Amino acid sequence: MELTTVWFCLIAVLWIGYFCLEGFDFGVGMLLPVLGRNDTERRVLINTIGPVWDGNEVWVLVAGGATFAAFPEWYATLFSGFYLPLLLILVALIARGLAFEYRAKRDDARWRARWDVAIIVGSVVPALLWGVAFANILRGVPIDADMEYVGGFFNLLSPYALLGGVTTLLLFLTHGALFVALKTDGDIRHRARDLALKVGLAAAIAAVAFLVWTQVQTGDALSLVLFVLAAVSLLFGLGAARRAREGWAFTGNFVAIALAVAGMFAALFPDVMPSSLDPAWSLTTSNASATDYTLTVMTWVAVLFTPIVLVYQGWTYWVFRRRLSTHHIPQPAAPPQPVS
């Protein structure tokens, strides 16, 4: 197998990891006003992802860095053509990260409410725009013979792309609800599981529509198999949620997202960014790649450090595996009484 194909697959794995892990982070953030009826419940929700959200974001940083090093032409065209949506995603992620860090710095309800808005918006925007971005990559965008994007922002807002955004938004909402049901106990757990079933049905409809459209448009035999398995896994997860088996439900949704993303990369290969103007102008794993020497060095670095990262992140999830509930949240201390 050529190193260009190896790195295309590795970048696909990085995006799978990002969507599967950061996806439930986005879902929890979006559900903050829905499942968090008071400040104590909102703190429970935030605490479920508190130890892991920043580690989950590392996947997209590594994916971006790997794309820059392995496929510099892809990186350049992608970030110039998708500049505005990627900038909005970056700003949303920064605001969301600040909110997690600063929300508890002051004992003031209005202060916390403002940061809650930042968490919600910072979760909705990436959940929607990542789907829009990937749908455009699959559909193809205006790229000329010089490998440059020549379209505008509104070229990215086709019905297919918007359906992709709605699909990722609903899948991440379902993923977040199932994660909350898995990680909490008490009333929040039951409400999260009930919500996951409702949102999951809408997510299944949107996902099937988007994957069928993708298969008809650019798919092959491998992508078809992966998309069918993704749909089966999603339905399995919803069935497990209905039986109150949160672990299996979350696993089913996790695998569904992984298979769907894998299917999208399978449908894309060997292109990395198709041209809607002329297929001959598409960016491929061959014409967009770095030198063999660069890819060889990157491969050895990945072989050495990837297991360390995976072990560390797995250890983090193991340490913080227990369920949380409102009784784990300390109540604010009563103000001192004046001395008479």
State the pLDDT at residue 336. 55
Listing DSSP states for 195-242 in one string gives: HHHHHHHHHHHHHHHHHHHHHHHH--HHHHHHHHHHHHHHHHHHHHHH
**Cα torsion through 253, 317, 191, 105, rounded to 10:** -130
Q: Would you state the pLDDT for residue 55?
A: 87
Range name among 13-17, 31-35, 238-242, 332-336 with the lowest pLDDT average:
332-336
Give the CA distances from residue 145 to residues 149, 193, 277, 280, in Å, rounded to whole numbers and listed in that order.
10, 51, 9, 8
Q: Are the CB atoms for 265 and 12 separated by under 8 Å?
A: yes
Give the pLDDT score at 267. Answer: 93
Encode pLDDT of 154-172 as tens digits: 788 899 999 999 999 999 9
Over residues 126-165, the pLDDT tens digits come to 999 999 999 999 998 999 888 888 888 778 889 999 999 9
Say whether pLDDT at 234 is over 60: yes
Q: How far apart are CA 244 and CA 265, in angstroms?
A: 33
For residue 81, pLDDT over 90 is answered with no
Instruction: Give residues with Cβ within 8 angstroms of 325, minimum separation 6.
Output: 44, 184, 185, 186, 188, 189
Give the pLDDT mean for 109-132. Answer: 95
Give residue-wise pLDDT tens across range 169-182: 999 999 999 999 99
Residue 200: band (very low, low, confident or very high) from pLDDT cuts 50, 70, 90: very high
* CA pair distance 313, 295, nearest whole angstrom: 25
Cβ atoms < 10 Å from Cβ of 140: 18
Measure the CA–CA gap between 283 and 67, rounded to whole angstroms. Answer: 13
Q: How confident is the model at residue 248 (pLDDT cuts 50, 70, 90)?
A: very high
Average pLDDT, the chain: 91
pLDDT digits (tens, 9 = 90+) for 275-328: 988 889 999 999 999 999 999 999 999 999 888 888 988 998 898 888 888 877
State the average pLDDT over residues 226-242: 94
| Closest CA relative to residue 29, chosen from 118, 107, 140, 103 | 118
**pLDDT attached to residue 306:** 87
- Chain position carrying tokens 């697959």: 9
The tokens of 11 are what?
């970048």
Q: How much is the average pLDDT of 40-65?
A: 91
pLDDT of residue 188: 93
In DSSP terms, 273 is beta-bridged to: 283
79-83, 123-127, 202-206: lowest mean pLDDT where? 79-83
- What does pTM read for this prediction? 0.92
pLDDT above 90 (res 256): yes
| pLDDT value of residue 339 | 58
Which pLDDT score, from 0 to 100, does residue 150 have? 87
- Tell me what percent of the residues of the chain surpass a pLDDT of 90: 69
Please give the share of the chain, as a percent, with pLDDT higher than 70: 96
Q: What is the pLDDT of residue 333?
A: 52
Does the pLDDT at position 265 exceed 80? yes
